[in-house]
């Protein structure tokens, strides 16, 4: 990882510190469900995680901790959420305390896994690793933290969706294979808060190559259609639910996948 990449990752954490409260207020993500991403069916429909009773589980890039709490409340022996944003971790701790959930949280990224070799049976990372400058290194860190036969469930922005821009009801893609940092403004006018966020664009073959090179066996891949009922990301866009500027509207996501889900195991 270069010095510039480290600087960008620091700015991403700072950006989430800035918008965390506004983000959580707008979307009110519920810990009653395990979420895979915006306008994506949840675990009750997809069933990718299964029974977590007695498992040691790591939630990398846990954000406000809703998924970590869901895991803890469903019988995980240990549910640890890591996130580089102190504000997100602060929110997660308060939410867990309010529910008396036995979830643990710490500020950190994948590099914290290097101090926990073989300690987890399951790792999940939902809409977090697109912020990692070096995806292969992050996945290798997760691989190290898993026990033999441990599983990983990973959800990311779908590379096709973020490769283009919607214009006149069509997704226009200039260069799907271009790789590198992609920046955009994330703003919450209802609270007069905004930030500049950065994620890495990678084509699907690069993502799969890194997944396998990190030592995982690929057990499945999914490009889920939207759920039966529009979720809060569709309904609470700053542009309005039916605005053509709402990138999570059903008409768009019925044609272009929003989320890429991969799952596999440590061989």
Give the chain's residues under pLDDT 50: none
Q: Are 233 and 222 in contact (CB under 8 A)?
A: no
Q: What is the pTM of this model?
A: 0.96
| Residue matched to tokens 């053509």 | 244
CA atoms of 123 and 17, how far apart (whole Å): 24
Alpha helices in the chain (DSSP H): 3-27, 43-46, 66-73, 86-99, 135-145, 159-162, 204-213, 232-235, 250-253
Query: DSSP string spanning 165-181?
Result: EEETTEEEES-TT--EE
Q: Where are the domains of the chain?
A: 3-266
User: In degrees, to the nearest 5, what angle opens at C-alpha 57 toward C-alphas 55 and 58?
Assistant: 170
| Eight-class DSSP state of 214 | T
Taking only the tens place, the pLDDT of each residue in 32-88 is 999 999 999 999 999 999 999 999 999 999 999 999 999 999 999 999 999 999 999
Q: Do residues 190 and 238 touch, judged by C-beta distance below 8 A?
A: yes
The two most distant CA atoms of the chain are separated, in Å, by 50
pLDDT attached to residue 217: 98
For residue 37, give both structure tokens. Answer: 């991403």
According to the model, what pLDDT value does residue 237 have? Answer: 85
> What pLDDT score does 2 carry?
59
CATH class of domain segment(s) 3-266: alpha beta
What pLDDT does 247 receive? 87
**What is the C-alpha separation between 56 and 104, in angstroms, rounded?**
11
For the record, the structure tokens of 260 come out as: 């890429």
Angle at 177 between CA 171 and CA 182, to 5 degrees: 70
SS3 content of the chain, % helix, strand, coil (to 5): 35, 30, 35
Q: What is the pairing mode between strands 120-126 and 146-157?
A: parallel
pLDDT of residue 261: 98
60 in Cβ contact with 110 (< 8 Å): yes
* Rounded Cα gap, residues 216 and 123, in angstroms: 12
3-state DSSP call for residue 150?
A: strand
């Amino acid at each position: 990882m270069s010095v510039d990449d480290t600087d960008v990752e620091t700015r991403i954490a700072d950006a989430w510190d800035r918008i965390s409260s506004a983000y959580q207020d707008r979307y009110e993500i519920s810990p009653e469900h395990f979420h895979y991403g915006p306008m994506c069916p949840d675990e009750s429909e997809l069933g990718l995680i299964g029974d977590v009773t007695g498992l040691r589980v790591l939630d990398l890039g846990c954000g406000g901790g809703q998924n970590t709490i869901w895991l803890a409340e469903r019988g995980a022996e240990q549910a640890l959420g890591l996130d580089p944003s102190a504000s997100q971790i602060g929110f997660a701790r308060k939410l867990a305390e309010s529910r008396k959930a036995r979830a643990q949280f710490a500020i950190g990224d994948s590099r914290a896994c290097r101090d926990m070799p073989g300690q987890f049976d399951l790792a999940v990372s939902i809409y977090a690793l697109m912020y990692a400058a070096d995806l292969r290194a992050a996945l290798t860190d997760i691989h190290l933290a898993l026990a033999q036969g441990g599983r990983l469930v990973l959800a990311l922005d779908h590379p096709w969706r973020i490769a283009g821009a919607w214009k006149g009801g069509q997704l226009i893609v200039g260069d799907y294979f271009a790789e590198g940092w992609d920046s955009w403004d994330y703003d919450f006018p209802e609270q007069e808060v905004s930030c500049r966020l950065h994620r890495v664009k990678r084509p699907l073959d690069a993502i799969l190559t890194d997944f396998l090179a990190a030592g995982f066996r690929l057990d499945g891949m999914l490009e889920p259609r939207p759920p039966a009922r529009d979720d809060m990301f569709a309904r609470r866009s700053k542009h309005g639910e039916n605005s053509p500027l709402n990138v999570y509207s059903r008409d768009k996501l019925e044609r272009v996948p929003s989320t890429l889900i991969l799952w596999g195991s440590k061989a």
